[in-house]
Amino acid sequence: MTQQNAPNLPGLQDSIAQNVANALSEDVGTGDITAQLVPASQTAKARVITREDCIFCGRAWVEETFHQLDPLVTITWHVNDGEQAAANSTLFELSGPARSLLTGERTALNFVQLLSGIATTASHYAEQVKDLPIQILDTRKTLPGLRLAQKYAVTCGGCHNHRIGLFDAFLIKENHIAAAGGIAQAVRQARTIAPGKPVEVEVETLDELDQALTSEADIIMLDEMDLAEVNQHLEGRQINAQLELSGGVDIAQISAQKALFKNISRISVGALTKHCRAVDLSMRIVE
C-alpha cells in the first residue's frame, strides 16, 4: 500500500487480514480440489491484466491473500493504488507454486475488481468538482464486512470519507430530532455525550435549516432540498456551519447544478460504495 494513498482509517490493516481470511475460507473451504490436477512440485508464472481503463486499488489485499495462502508466491507490481491503469496493461505478475497461484486467483482478483471499480467511480466524481472547494464524500452504505476496504478505495479515487461508523461522529436525523425534542436540544445533548465529536444535522425544510444554523451544529446536511431556494434563503446571511448536499446525488446532477454550489462545501454520495461495478480483470499463466 502506498503511503500517499493510505488514509487514517483505524483498524485498516487488521481489517485487510480479516477480509482475506474470510474470503479464502469461503472459497477454499476444505481444499481446492481442481488445483490438485496440477503436480504439487510444479511452479508457474502468471500475469494479471485489466481489460479496461481504471484507477487501480487493492494491492494490500493481493499481498495478504498470497501471504496467507502460500508465502512462497512472489509478486511483481506494475501499478500502485490510486494510479491510472490503461486497458490491457499488466497490473502485477505472480510466480511460485502453480497450485497456489490457481487457488488464490479468484480471491485476489475479487478484491481488486471491486476496489478498483470503486476507485474508478470515485475518480469520475472527483473530476466533477476538481476546480471547486467541495469534497465528495462516501456514506455508510457499504457491503457488510468491507467498509474500511471500500472507504479506502474511495480515497484512492480522489474522494473523501464521511464518518466511518456510528462511533466517530454524530449524524442527527428526523427520528433523533423527534426523540430529543428538537434540533437545538439534540445538538446540546450531543455536545454533552461526546464533546469532541463532530455534530451534523440533517434537514429537509428551510425552517429546519434555520433551526440547525442557530443550534451551532458543525455540519448541516441538506436532504433533497432545492438549492436555488436554499441560496435565496441564505442570501446575505453569515453561515457558521458547513453545508452538505445529500439525497440520491449522481454525476449528472453535480454537473448540472455546479452554479448553485456557492454555499456547499460537501456532497455525500451513497453510490460510491453502494452501486459497485467491478473492473474486468484477467489472470493468465505465462509459464
Give the mean pLDDT of 20-43. 97
List, for residues 130-170, the tens digit of each pLDDT value.
999 999 999 999 999 999 999 999 999 999 999 999 999 99
For the CA atoms of 184, 186, 191, 193, the dihedral, rounded to the nearest 10 degrees, stands at 160
Residue 129 counted as domain residue? no
The pLDDT of residue 8: 61
Same structural domain, 86 and 113: yes
The pLDDT of residue 83: 98
Same structural domain, 184 and 254: yes
Give the mean pLDDT of 116-134. 97
Cell of 150: 471500500
Residue 214 counted as domain residue? yes
Same structural domain, 18 and 93: yes
Same structural domain, 234 and 281: no
Residue 58 counted as domain residue? yes
Q: pLDDT at residue 1 above 70?
A: no
Same structural domain, 264 and 280: no
Q: pLDDT at residue 6 above 60?
A: no
Same structural domain, 15 and 64: yes
Same structural domain, 34 and 117: yes
Q: CATH number of the domain that 73 lies in? A: 3.90.1170.20
- Secondary structure (H, E, C), 215-266: CCCCEEEEECCCHHHHHHHHCCCCCCCEEEEECCCCHHHHHHHHHHHHHEEE
**Enclosing H/E stretch for 146:** none
Q: CATH number of the domain that 244 lies in? A: 3.20.20.70
The tally of CA atoms less than 13 A away on the side-chain side of residue 52 is 10
Residue 230 counted as domain residue? yes
Same structural domain, 16 and 119: yes
Residue 140 counted as domain residue? no
What's the domain range around 180? 160-268
89 in a known ligand binding site: no
List, for residues 211-241, the tens digit of each pLDDT value.
999 999 999 999 999 999 999 999 999 999 9
Give the mean pLDDT of 34-41. 97
Percent share of the chain, pLDDT over 70: 97
- What is the tally of structural domains in the chain? 2
Cβ neighbours of residue 144 closer than 8 Å, sequence gap 6 or more? none
Whole-number Å distance between alpha carbons of 175 and 190: 14
Residue 151 counted as domain residue? no
Residue bearing cell 487501480? 56
Same structural domain, 264 and 281: no
158 in a known ligand binding site: no
**Rounded to two decimals, what is the model's pTM?**
0.94
271 in a known ligand binding site: yes
Mean of pLDDT over the chain: 95
95 in a known ligand binding site: no
Residue 147 counted as domain residue? no
pLDDT-derived band at 244 (thresholds 50, 70, 90) equals very high
Give the mean pLDDT of 50-70. 98
pLDDT-derived band at 10 (thresholds 50, 70, 90) equals confident
202 in a known ligand binding site: yes
- Show which residues are catalytic: 106, 141, 173, 202, 223
Residue 30 counted as domain residue? yes
The pLDDT of residue 151: 97
